[in-house]
Structure 1
């Protein structure tokens, strides 16, 4: 599924290059109390660890590819391979549902047109699949790295060097929670910001990349909340092998 794989790749870039760094001013006095005087680098390391260890998390974000195409996602995923969410890109939208090793994808017409482009009988297949929950496997659905919580969040810790040389920014509010901004500016003009919760677990609440080739924004919420993944009605499920073309 080309559209989904492109989305996963772009968000992985956004997380890998964004959520490990930050931006803001150097006024972190209020946060010194919350984090016991820890350095920005140590706060970032603690934030990545806490986020990866959470039982579940909602990840919502957008990223712009070098081609100008904007892609987005909104997923709630846990450690038990339960996942619900939506992906958008190239004018298309699809819902994704995972229960254990079974994945279901329900895409609109544009989604299936993008995904099946170039295959024989594309239009007939599109008509048969759009609006239905299509059965797939995790390694076939293009959702690997998204609906696999640990694999998806592994991007947060893929390059520890990106957590070096951060500065403390100001404290602000993200979705009603106080957060400290951590700051890093790249020589290429790219600026990235990671916002870390100052109360309770030091979860990452938001990450933003500005400038550079792939600006984007990702928010993290609904930590440790139950993922409402339910089996879709049987009459709304189709096997992709059932999509056939007439001779």
Structure 2
């Protein structure tokens, strides 16, 4: 198995959502008390949320989505501005642990993950037993980390569709992971309901995004803003070099 083909097969998919903003009502509560973000439209609130989330040095994201091929994907990942990351990806019954430390990316997949990733690759049958329960070690270039261990890229991907920033409405407040959040909701022409939850206290961080009612439902919850991300480097005995594996 050639090294470059093995590296390509190890590339993993990140989760990105659609961060929507729009205009909404201002107003106070019926008893005259001030609502969170009173006097600000939904697009202003979402703009603040994007800015605050970009500024944060780190975050944790846990999400579920459906890929274009219909397979489910679950991501549970901590990531920072330096692209350090530590977490788990699950794709339709398979699982892979990922760590990015400095200029090195580590991936430990279960048997089902490697069978799916290396399907059709020359030498896959010999490689899979050697990869089982081991961390595959490789250079962390953009082909591997883009959309996964790039915090700023993840946030940017959530704000790609500027045309979706119209027509959202401010709702009431709720609680997300113990934090109060204001709810911004939009009913898309496709029939999907898209909702954004923004923290009302402290920094206006994004706390959750959801898409419901369409072909690709998704939920992503964000937290641990500013918390250090310090993945543990796997021991030499627990790692495999794909380049060397390709030659064996």
Provide TM-score, normalisation by structure 2. 0.87
Query: What is the aligned counterpart of 2:168 among 156, 166, 169?
Result: 166
Q: Which runs of 5+ in 1 are unaligned?
A: none
Q: Given the superposition, is the C-alpha separation of residues 176 and 27 from structure 1 closer, same or farther in structure 2, using an over 3 Å criterion?
A: farther
- Cα separation, 1, equivalents of 2:27 and 2:241: 54
Match of 1:42 in 2: 44
Query: Counterparts of 1:105 and 1:96 in 2: how far apart (Å)?
Result: 5
Q: Is 2:192 aligned against 1:187? A: no
Q: Distance in 2 between matches of 1:159 and 1:234?
A: 43
Structure 2 match to 1:122: 124
Query: Does the CA-based 8 Å contact 2:26-2:41 persist in structure 1?
Result: no
* Residues 76 and 85, structure 1, Cα contact 8 Å, conserved in 2: yes
State the Cα RMSD in Å: 2.4
User: C-alpha separation between the residues in 1 aligned to 2:241 and 2:216?
Assistant: 36
Give, in angstroms, the shift of residue 32 of structure 1.
Answer: 5.2
Structure 2 residues not aligned, in runs of 5+ = 1-7
Shift of 1:162: 1.9
Q: Aligned to 2:158, what secondary structure does the other structure show?
A: helix
Q: CA deviation at 1:36?
A: 4.0
* Equivalent in the alignment of 2:89: 87
State the alpha-carbon separation in 1 of the partners of residues 142 and 48 from structure 2: 34
Output the CA distance in 1 between the equivalents of 2:89 and 2:203.
28
Q: Which has the higher contact order (CA 8 A, sep 6+)?
A: 1
Change beyond 3 A, Cα 1:133–1:3: closer
Aligned runs of 1:41-190 on 2, under 5 Å? Answer: 41-139=43-141, 142-190=144-192
CA–CA distance in 2 between the matches of 1:35 and 1:245?
A: 60
Aligned residue pairs, count: 237
SS of 1:157 mapped into structure 2: coil
